[in-house]
Amino acid sequence: MFTLSRSAAVIMLALVVAALPAPRAEGPKQLIAHRGASAYAPEHTVASYTLAMQQKADFVEPDLAVTKDNVLICLHDDTLDRTTNVAEVFGGRRGGNALANDFTIDEIKRLDAGKWFKPEFAGARVPTFQEMIDLVRGKAGLYPELKSPELYKSRNVDQVKLFVDLVRKNGLEKPESLRTTPVIIQSFDETAIRRVAKELPTIPRVLLTSNDADVATARLREVATFATGIAPEKAILARHPGMVAAAHNLRLTVTSWTFRADDKTSFPTVRDEMAHYLYTLGIDALFTNNPDQFPRR
């Protein structure tokens, strides 16, 4: 029988350990304000973003849509119906399906984006992404989501290019800017994330998912070739808590969404729910509508 000397065995063990993927070092937990502090102010408005920063959000999240004249705006839905008075201002112009991409930025700026939430927010406007950058830069990080790239592609609009061009125009991809205003790009659209990986390689990229198959170890290995993180919805994490360690071993961050005080869950409070995901399951960051409830340690 061949037997290794003790010194040779130690060397071999060291080589094996060195070859294993290093687990991600535990860092500070990150609070991402979902559409701003949207439990307290109308989503994607200056009021919501400002309150999120006052409530110490690490990142503020703008969802990005595109106007008819190719301006990036902060809007969650593809349409303007739910969060503006578009039906009142423009009548039945789009028959209750007012796609933002059918309106110019000047037309959208005529809309009230606050009164639907509470009367005291009447007069709030839909901000452009540039306005949002100017508001948040230097005070918190930016966590934009590219919404519906395929919709825009079907209309011959290159949403990803518009985004990349605006990031470069503002120098947000430069190391000196990232030190004061971190930026992370996210999308459910894998093609968009793969493009950003090539065109903005200095900016971290997160794949959003509501698909259990995306947290399987083999799939995580694939995700790690084009993204720096994965963001499964919290129900998926509850079903597959072991995926956190698997992702960390591949140097992927793990973020989850969305934590709301008005959701009925098995936890006493949203703070307790967030603490479980952050400190028991070990995720790195989460989206919440209630930034003031974030459990820092």
Distance CA(227)–CA(210), nearest Å, equals 16
The number of folded domains in the chain is 1
Distance CA(2)–CA(100), nearest Å, equals 72
What confidence tier does 13 reach under pLDDT thresholds 50, 70, 90?
very low
Indicate whether 279 belongs to any domain: yes
Answer whether 114's CB lies under 8 Å from 121's CB: yes
What confidence tier does 27 reach under pLDDT thresholds 50, 70, 90?
confident
Tokens (6 digits) for 169 = 């125009």
Say whether pLDDT at 8 is over 90.
Answer: no
Determine what percent of the chain is predicted with pLDDT higher than 90.
89
Indicate whether 221 belongs to any domain: yes
Say whether pLDDT at 16 is over 50.
Answer: no
Say whether pLDDT at 58 is over 70.
Answer: yes
Residues written for the chain:
297
Average the pLDDT over each of 17-26, 70-79, 114-123 and give the range with the smallest value. 17-26
Between strands 63-66 and 59-60, the pairing is: unpaired
Mean pLDDT of the chain: 92
Say whether pLDDT at 7 is over 80.
Answer: no
Indicate whether 171 belongs to any domain: yes
What confidence tier does 246 reach under pLDDT thresholds 50, 70, 90?
very high
Q: What pLDDT is recorded for position 94?
A: 57
137 Rama sector, left if φ>0, alpha if ψ -120 to 50, beta otherwise? beta
Indicate whether 107 belongs to any domain: no
52 Rama sector, left if φ>0, alpha if ψ -120 to 50, beta otherwise? alpha
**158-204 residue pLDDT tens:** 999 999 999 999 999 999 999 999 999 999 999 999 999 999 999 99
Q: What pLDDT is recorded for position 197?
A: 98
What confidence tier does 21 reach under pLDDT thresholds 50, 70, 90?
very low
The candidate with the shortest Cα–Cα distance to 36, out of 262, 258, 278, is 258
CATH classification at residue 219: 3.20.20.190
Annotated catalytic residue 276: no
Which residue in 76, 240, 248, 276 is the catalytic one? 76
Say whether pLDDT at 12 is over 90.
Answer: no
**95-109 residue pLDDT tens:** 568 999 999 999 999
Indicate whether 170 belongs to any domain: yes
**Domain with 160 in it:** 27-77+128-293
Q: What end-to-end distance do the CA atoms of the chain give, in Å?
A: 54
For residue 185, the cross-strand partners are 205
Q: What is the mean pLDDT of residues 11-19?
A: 36
Say whether pLDDT at 18 is over 70.
Answer: no
**98-154 residue pLDDT tens:** 999 999 999 999 999 999 999 999 999 999 999 999 999 999 999 999 999 999 999
Distance CA(68)–CA(145), nearest Å, equals 19
Indicate whether 57 belongs to any domain: yes
Answer whether 285's CB lies under 8 Å from 253's CB: yes
Annotated catalytic residue 248: no
Q: What pLDDT is recorded for position 209?
A: 98
Indicate whether 85 belongs to any domain: no
Could you give phi then psi for residue 72, rounded to 5 degrees?
-75, 125
SS (H, E, C) 82-149: CCCCHHHHHCCCCCCCCEHHHCCHHHHCCCCCCCCCCHHHCCCCCCEHHHHHHHHCCCCEECCEECCH
Indicate whether 246 belongs to any domain: yes
Kindly report the pTM of this predicted structure: 0.90
